[in-house]
Amino acid sequence: MSKDKTINIKLVKSGIGRMKSHKLCIKGLGFKKLNQTVTIIDTPSNRGMINKISDMIEIQE
């Protein structure tokens, strides 16, 4: 099993009133509710989604 880099991110702002593409990024990253923390693999596609909604999330170390 390879050691893939992972990122822990937390959703701190709601998706209500946001553009549809931002809501899809929230769903694509695996968030289901506010203040939820998810661990994702560091890939270019995940990085793109993180950059798109960077004002709504916090990256945890």
3-class DSSP state of 22: helix
Residue 49 to residues 2, 36, 39, 45: CA-CA distances in angstroms? 23, 16, 14, 6
Q: Which amino acid is at 2?
A: S
Residue 19 in tokens: 């553009």
Rg (CA), the chain: 11
Its CATH class, for the domain covering 6-60, is: alpha beta
Main-chain phi, psi angles of 37, to 5 degrees: -110, 130
For residue range 4-60, list pLDDT tens digits in order. 899 999 999 999 999 999 999 999 999 999 999 999 999 999 999 999 999 999 999
User: What is residue 6's predicted lDDT score, i.e. its pLDDT?
Assistant: 95
